[in-house]
Every structure is written in C-alpha cells, then in structure tokens.
Structure 1
Amino acid sequence: MDSGTLKRHADEFLERNFDMPLGVPLRISSRMKSRLGAFQVKYIRGGDVKTEIVMSHEFIVHNSEEAILDVLYHECVHYALYTQDKPYRDSDALFISTLDRLGISRTRTYAYKGRSHLYECRRCRYRFSKNIKGYEKRYICRKCRGKFSYVGELSPEHL
C-alpha cells in the first residue's frame, strides 16, 4: 500500500465521519520501528506548528490491509480531534469514546511484525531481539556487563 492509497482512505474516512478533508501530509517512514503509526505535532521556533501523520513502512509491508487501515483511522481520529480543538491524546476520554463509537482499535492493539535483529552477549550467551540494527555498538549486557555481538536478522515468520 503506497502513500497515495493511504491518503485516499484517510480522506474518505475523515469526510464520512468528521465532515473534513485530510489537511496534513501523510508520510511513510522506513525509520519508524517502535510505533506503527503516529499523528505528530511539532512546535517550530517562531510559534508555527507543523502536523503530519506518519505510518511505519515495516508495519505496512508485513500486515494485512485491515490492520493498516485500522491504525491509519486511529491516527485520523487524533488529527480530527486536534483540528477541532478537542482532547486528542490516547488517554483522553473523548478520544477513547470516539474510537469505540467508530469501531477503531486503541493503541498497542497490534504486535510488531517486521524485520527484527538477534543479538547475543559474548560472555553469558544471553540472547534477545530488537527492531533496530547496531544495538551491539551502543550497549552492554546488564547481567554481566559483557559486549553484544550481532547474530543475524530474524524474518517475521520467526517472531
């Protein structure tokens, strides 16, 4: 699914449920690994505000269209409520009730499916996986303070 298709779905959803178009950029990020999607509000020097919806490339590649659209619609609800100056954060009661009314999943409903990397401690042989590459260069083992080595990439079928 490409950004044009996602934008079309978002526009249709917002027109149908909030009587408004998508007025912010929709971007697919290959760097986003820990979140599936996000509505971002950035405050820029000078009082300007930049908003956008960002979707994870890994999430889009490894999940069903139904799951992708559910996350997209979740982010669209954030956007719509923000635009209307209403409470739009995940913990806000209005946001939660709006999701429930529209039949959209809440945050952390979907598990990460995508590329993952396996690491092992050289000293105590503790193994774990992370969604980022290069972990062994920045961290040490909390059990024995040993260094990590990169074992390899795990495919989504092994997770």
Structure 2
Amino acid sequence: MTIEELTEIASTFLRDNYAMDLDIPIVRNNRLRTVMGRFISAYRGGATRIEIAGFVIEHGDRGIIIDTLYHECIHYALFERGEPNDDGHPHFESELREHSVGSSGINRVGPYIEYTCSDCGKEAQARGRRLLRDYRDRVTFCCGASIEIVGERIYNGTEAV
C-alpha cells in the first residue's frame, strides 16, 4: 500500500467515526523494529505525524496494515479531543473495541527466527535478524542452554508465508 492510500483510508476513518479531518502526515518509518506504528505528538505543539513501520507495509496483509493505521488514528483522535490515548488505558482500549481494532502487540508481522533449546528441545521464535549474527552468545530461558537456529519465517499478520 502507498502512503497516499493510507492517507485516504485514515481520512475516511476519522471523518466517519470522529467527524474530524486528518491534519497530520502519515509516513513510513523503516527504523521502527519493535512497534508496528506510532502516533507522534509534541505536547506543547500538538500532533505531528503518524508513522507506520516499513516491515508492516512490506510484509503485512492489507487487513493488518489497516488495523495498525486505525489504531494510530484512534490515538490521534483522542489526543485531539483531549481524552486519554495511552495504550492500556481503559478509555483508549474501549475505543479500540468499539471500532474492532486490535490492541498493541497482538499481531505478528515480518521475519521471525525460529530456534530450539539444545538441552530440552523447546521451540521458540524471536523477531529480528540480529539473532542470526550473535546466536552463539545467547542462551534459552527454559534451561540456560545454547540455542540452535532452525530457520526463518515471515508472517503477514495472519499466517506464515
């Protein structure tokens, strides 16, 4: 999806659900690694932008990208209204439920490294390719044993592709 498409989708969502215009840009941020998107505000200067992670745009399916965008739009709308807009706040979470939008950290998108414990064989996954570089220095949570890399899977938010 393009930034222009995301901007149009966000504008329609905000107009239909909050009777407000989108007055800030939506940008792709390829530096985001742990979050799928974020709403940026300068508390004295107001809202500044919505960022969507590059890995979400590249690997996420359309539904996940739009869900992430809506999540950030709700942050923006509540911020502009002066209402609580922090992740986890009951008011924010109820707004998410009202619009059938996912909470933070529930979707899996992008490349994940699969590995096993060399002692007990328990399987696990980790995000980020850095693990491939320095896995010899890592130990598992279960046994404190070394890890063995199994492979890599890319998730689009609903399944491995």
Q: TM-score, structure 2 length as denominator?
A: 0.70
Deviation at 1:49, TM superposition (A): 6.6
Partner of 1:116: 112
Q: What letter matches 1:116 in structure 2?
A: Y
1:114 aligns to what SS in structure 2? strand
Q: Which sits farther off after the overlay, 117-126 or 26-35?
A: 117-126
Structure-1 separation of matches of 2:62 and 2:80: 26
Partner of 1:39: 39
TM-score, normalising length: structure 1:
0.71
Does the aligned pair in 1 maintain the 2:118–2:145 contact within 8 Å? yes
Of 118-127 and 105-114, deviating more is: 118-127
Give the CA deviation at 1:89: 1.7
SS at match of 1:111: coil
Q: Look up the equivalent residue of 1:28 and give its one-letter code.
A: R
Residue of structure 2 equivalent to 1:52: 49
Shift of 1:112: 0.5
1:74 aligned counterpart, secondary structure: helix
User: Contact 1:74/1:104 (CA < 8 Å) preserved in 2?
Assistant: no
Residue of structure 2 equivalent to 1:20: 20
Q: CA RMSD in A?
A: 3.3
What is the total number of aligned residue pairs between the two structures? 155
Q: Offset of 1:132 from its aligned partner?
A: 0.9
Q: CA deviation at 1:77?
A: 1.1
Contact 2:115–2:149 under 8 Å retained in 1:
yes
Shift of 1:154: 1.9
Hey, what's the Cα distance between the residues in 2 that align with 1:6 and 1:133? 28
Work out the CA distance in 1 between the residues paired with 2:90 and 2:23: 24
Structure 1: where are the runs of 5+ without partners? none
2:67 matches 1:70 = yes
| Percent of residue pairs identical | 27
Does structure 2 conserve the Cα–Cα contact (< 8 Å) formed by 1:90 and 1:96? yes
Match of 1:154 in 2: 153
Displacement of 1:12 in angstroms is: 2.2
Gaps of 5+ in 2: none
The answer (yes or no) to whether the contact 1:96–1:106 under 8 Å persists in 2 is no
Question: Conserved in 2, the CA contact under 8 Å of 1:120 and 1:126?
Answer: yes
For 1:69-109, what per-residue CA distance to the aligned partner results, in whole angstroms no more than 9, with x for missing partners?
Answer: 222112101101112211112333432343344x2324048
Shift of 1:111: 2.6
- After TM superposition, the structure 1 stretch with the greater mean CA deviation from structure 2, 50-59 or 1-10, is 50-59
